[in-house]
Structure 1
């Protein structure tokens, strides 16, 4: 490609230069000419943001794990309303040192239960103390209501109570372990009907808004409903957090004579957010300390430490205030956006500082205005393009169907733009007001690491390309091994209370994560059996269909499905109508005849119907519910494969139709979120790279340069994802963002390096000389930025929350890979392709420049 073909035309250059001159002239007349006013305006923005800083919140409600418009969530809500059940309960596991069924232990357990009931907000509890024992030789199915006894309400011998509880299929492996050493207390959390009404109305109006549009009155109602729902949601979340804290306070008083653990979905959610919130504070301060240390080591002047910190702090402060103003909650998925803003803002400030110090050494007699104006003029455009391409990288998150993931992309877009504005307003304005900094010590073009990488680029030409190609192949294999399956228990280290509690509940009390299988009966349409023809066979009758779960065939179907689900190695406790039927058969001391089955619902007293029947069968909708707890400790847990297998087996082996089988529950919603993350992020990275390629074409005005620039970015993103695949690290709600982060980081380094290389090549047309000069100028800024972030984010490896550890480690790895790619493979490709015209240099490889 000729020099003319690879460069923009003179008219394009002139138009771009003229626009740049006009923008800089405006910037000069405002920011540089009025630095005090500029800083005051930024301060006003910070004060306004601070007015809503208290509205900034973390949100881990089930809504945050749901895809936008996901029909599964609506079905989940309908199911729990239809069967009058809920996942909003806590489980306290109690494993005493002495025999469980002894007077002292039962008394101690009663005291614990009473203290837990006294916690404000606990509606009711279930335990071996108050559930009906249903064990007596005098009990029959028709007299069960007269002889129903409980351990605490009646004088029942402990041996008798133990036998009744251990033999009851409902309580076994749920309220009491199979070995009789561990019991559980279920604590039901308060239900807030108004909260669910507001959520349903909001969803209804938002759906109508998307499909038809809303009237003026409906728009007003939607705004009002959203506001009230937000307030109610915050109140419910605060109440649950307070209840969990109070419950833990009670449990702390009883840990001297028993092993006690707290479990349940609300606890898992609360602890996840507690870990995230703690990491935001603790490790945020740790990262800040490491960044201060690295800046001090690199620049050795207080102003070059304090100015980047001030820019980072203002960016985060204003962004958090903005999120508070617009009521944008931060979820587990977006919880690391603060760290990412630190990366990007720190990168911008370091690039400006390095360039400013470079001009300071080159022009020792220049005044403050000249140094600042030249720095801004040189770095404004590449930093702006860096910001745009980073926004495009995070734009991959817009393709997600999950609202919190979309919000994360939008948060990063807003935060990055705020960071760019803060850096180019605050840093130059402060430098205009401060006396000129002391002359940097040392030679201008001496950074050993970048010199070493430049020599590698010179001396190992073919090796760099060969190693990169081999790495690409290996990474492609690793990417193909990526999975999105993850167990909740794997989020926490083994020595944490939540990990130990989930293990006990899994192994002793029937599992952790709720899954529901809903079976619907077909409507009797009188369809003829396909196996006979009434014109040939006079005995042919219409095919019989099950008309009730309380019929002989219906009961057998329920039992078959129950047993199948119970046999799966990933499932723990399974409760269904089959559990109740088998309990009734035990009470009846034999199988139930059709009449007894039909009357079974009336035989149990009303309070037992609420325990044994209503949560598992709805005769009005002709549906049966199978409540399952998945074993989070199962090494074979693969939710997506399990759900597909259950659906396939129930339709293939049990003869059910597809529309008769539905899976729901928190496990399904979480799996849908993971699968959507995988499809919307990994599979759309290609589209993101196409968009970045287009931006490179606009920026560099050369197809050859754009192709050269995109290769290191592809390799950096592929390497990080490939390593995760090869290591067996699954993608989850936090690590899925590593792809967008890697692309954003690699793009930043690529733009800065090519932009500087293009400046250097115009000096003498010597590609190797331009490469060495670029390594010792912009390469230093890239090195300083990368080292600061790598060291700072490595501290996240000390977290107890495994996704945070992965985030820190792989973010640091992404920085290292992006840096190596930008300082070895990228210059090597530039030297090979010569996209800026013919090489007019005569420099020998390795020569010092």
Structure 2
């Protein structure tokens, strides 16, 4: 048998195999050192994704769309010193590295008509009296350009917008930006002001710190809990130390694999250490359990190693392969972090299997005192044995009732599953009491517009956006966007600038705040604005005036909140004359179907796209995981019927969790979408070990009830102990600042608990049904 040959080779060349493990560890440590962090929106999409490609094109045309927004509580009465402090704050913020431009009520541009045409200067230039400044305040709270960006509608809050560079694939510079901001705000007099800061640089920096902190913290807590669990399970030092050594190797291999393949650490990374500690040592736990029981029965140490490898190596290999296969199923995900975490943990589990099959036999072969490995008797072990024995009797007597109960549970869970929905709320991944959530809530409730949507219309024609008919249709789209009051939209585009310019050249008469009807007038206005030295047009249109950018500032809300807006924009694109073949009499330039294209991008739209991928990802990952589990079950049990039923029994636990999510309104997000496939991969391990043990015992005693009883008090011990350890490990995520990680921990723990219930009741009930039916068939045939 190949297992015996492998074991003999292993024991003969122990030093060589140990050196191989050390070499593997060294390689993974080397590549782990190259690991980088990236939680930018780009990092959530695979490189060929059309949404990402369009966003990249947008950034190329319009430079950075990342900004930080400072919201300051204004005093009831403005003073000259207060305005001067704002001016100085803007100046200091502008000097922070990678800050491109900072605008506030003091230096934001102001367009005013003059004898020569227009003048563009600061809204509140230096040298104004307090009376003049207060007059400016009255203008600002009503003016569409300043209101709810640089000053709140009630005048109680001021906004400062800091535009920042984008360095692709890097986050450290954002931490430097955030730290630079915080250092300035800690100075007097700013430390006495009520200031909240939000924006992509601040958010990404916060995420980086949370991930770094929680990866280490949770890994340490899980390490301790697992160590305690193994102590109660084995009551021996080697039973604790050896699995934990393998767990550490698993973690190093996971991060090494990420570095090797160029994957980035991100929001999902805290899952990896805890998962590898609790799951990566699973094979070692089963090997140790069999070794303990074999040694207890009086066989020699060498024979115990061979017997353990014969009975456990293949089931361990198959169970790890199915778990890894379920994780590798995420390789088809359109969500890059999900794809990378799945590949990382799947490959790292295979490494942990190889290390376990090498290290456990070698370590035990070096032990001279057999007492070291014997399972020590204790009250907990005795109580667990009695409980499992009682369950085996109950299942043997009530297996039909158990099957009926689970059929009802399946129906209830399936109805909940049909209610399952997706809604990715990036900011909502953080707990409501975290600093970043509180700041965003405050900004949205005062000035608003903490997030942005970008609408791009491409005419594919030089000077195409100067066409009055085109601009009128764009203005109609803008009014459509503004009608979504629930989002508190603030729209800024070339249309707004042209209206301001038209008002300015007409003696600043508010009645001329409208679009001119002549393409020549529009061209002249834009030429005047360009000549003023302002670079604002670079952010609103392309150099040849073929595209127009419509920036929509909105509240940061769950993605479903934007569905109606996106739908209306798309319907506009289908119905507007801009996108149909027409010779409009109102148009000075013919507009054709092939010339004009409308597209939506920006951070809000990108997060919304992630949401649309989630359900598709769930179906694919669970489907692939089920196929892998089904194939392995059929192959292991040498029976199509038994393999199908055992695979379906695992699916019951997952269906209960998905049903629970549906009934209680827990949405799929990049964390919770991992639950089903990971749970399937974990739960099949216990099923393979449990059923193989039943088959092994049945071949010896030819009595299904006795075979079940023996399985409960042997393999059942490992099933219960490992499940308890896993539940303890994943429950640690309840301590996270990331609410989605809280849910992930809860749902995985629930899945493992349901898996334990299935393993102790449904799996043996199905086996009872099969073997009883087999006995009846054999009796009839006899």
- CA offset at residue 476 of structure 1? 1.8
Moved more, 803-812 or 39-48: 39-48
Cα deviation, 1:194-243, whole Å, max 9, x if unaligned, reads x6xxxxxxxxxxxxxxxxxxxxxxxxxxxxxxxxxxxxx4xx43222222
Shift of 1:508: 2.4
Q: How does 1:716-735 map to 2 (within 5 A)?
A: 716-735=653-672
2:589 corresponds to: none
Match of 1:305 among 240, 245, 251: 240
Q: How does 1:56-71 map to 2 (within 5 A)?
A: 56-71=35-50
Count of aligned pairs: 748
SS at match of 2:377: coil
Identify the match of residue 370 of structure 2 among 409, 431, 436: 436
Structure 1 match to 2:395: 457
Match of 2:310 among 367, 377, 381: 377
TM-score (normalizing by structure 1): 0.82
1:682 counterpart SS class: helix
Shift of 1:822: 1.4
- The alignment's TM-score, normalised by the length of structure 2, stands at 0.89
Match of 2:24 among 17, 34, 45: 45
The residue aligned with 1:796 is 733
Partner of 2:719: 782
Contact 1:575 1:628 in 2 (8 A): yes
Cα-to-partner distance string for 1:403-433 (whole Å, 9 max, x where unaligned): 4333223212210111101112222222222
Q: 1:609 to 1:800 in 2, by over 3 A?
A: same
Contact 2:730 2:745 in 1 (8 A): yes
SS in 1 for 2:265: coil
Residue equivalent to 2:568: 645
Tell me if 1:421 matches 2:354.
Answer: yes
Give secondary structure in 1 for the equivalent of 2:552: strand
Higher relative contact order (Cα pairs below 8 Å, separated by 6+ residues): 1
Q: Does 1:86 align with 2:64?
A: yes
Q: 1:828 Cα deviation (Å)?
A: 0.5
2:436 aligns with 498
Cα deviations by residue, 1:565-586 (Å, 9 ceiling, x for unpaired): 0121235321112322332354
Report what 1:28 is aligned to: 8
Partner of 1:144: 118
How many Å separate the matches in 2 of 1:144 and 1:605? Answer: 11
Q: Is the 8 A contact 2:489 2:555 kept in 1?
A: yes
Conserved? CA contact 1:169–1:582, under 8 Å: no
Equivalent position to 1:712, from 633, 649, 653: 649
Tell me the residue number matched to 1:679.
616
* Distance verdict in 2 for CA 1:599–1:287, change over 3 Å: same
8 Å Cα contact 2:697/2:711 also seen in 1: yes
Tell me if structure 1 keeps the 8 A contact 2:395–2:402. yes
**CA spacing shift, 1:759–1:80, aligned 2, 3 Å:** same
Structure 1 residue 832, shift from structure 2 partner: 0.8
After TM superposition, give the deviation of residue 816 of structure 1 in Å: 0.6
- 1:244 to 1:665, Cα distance in 2 relative to 1, 3 A: same
Q: Note the 1:213-612 alignment, pairs <5 A.
A: 233=169, 236-253=170-187, 256-333=191-268, 335-363=270-298, 366-434=299-367, 435-438=369-372, 439=374, 440-442=376-378, 447-521=385-459, 548-568=464-484, 569-587=486-504, 588=506, 589=509, 590-591=511-512, 592=516, 594=518, 595-606=520-531, 609-611=534-536
Alpha-carbon distance, 1:106 to partner: 2.1
CA drift at 1:502: 1.0
Question: CA RMSD for the aligned pairs?
Answer: 2.8
Q: Structure 1 residues 603, 141: closer, same or farther in 2, change over 3 A?
A: farther
The match for 1:164 is 139
CA distance in 1, matches of 2:115, 2:686: 76
Change (3 A) 1:394 1:191: closer
- The CA distance in 2 between the partners of 1:142 and 1:451, in whole Å, is 97
Whole-Å separation in 1 of the counterparts to 2:466 and 2:405 = 68
Contact 2:3/2:309 (<8 A) preserved: no
Distance in 1, Cα, partners of 2:773 & 2:47: 47
Q: What's the counterpart of residue 102 of structure 2?
A: 125
Q: 1:745 aligns with which of 682, 697, 706?
A: 682
> 2: distance between equivalents of 1:607 and 1:72?
36
Q: Report the alpha carbon displacement of residue 25 of structure 1 after superposing the two structures with TM.
A: 1.5
Shift of 1:58: 2.5
Distance 1:237 1:478 in 2: 40
Query: How far apart are residue 609 of structure 1 and its match?
Result: 4.7
Structure 2 gaps of 5+ residues are 581-592
Instruction: Tell me: CA distance 1:770–1:115, structure 2 relative to 1, closer, same or farther (3 Å).
Output: same
Indicate the residue corresponding to 1:214 in structure 2: none
Distance 1:177-1:263 versus aligned 2 partners, 3 A rule: same
Alignment partners' CA distance in 1, 2:704 and 2:529: 89
SS at match of 1:617: coil
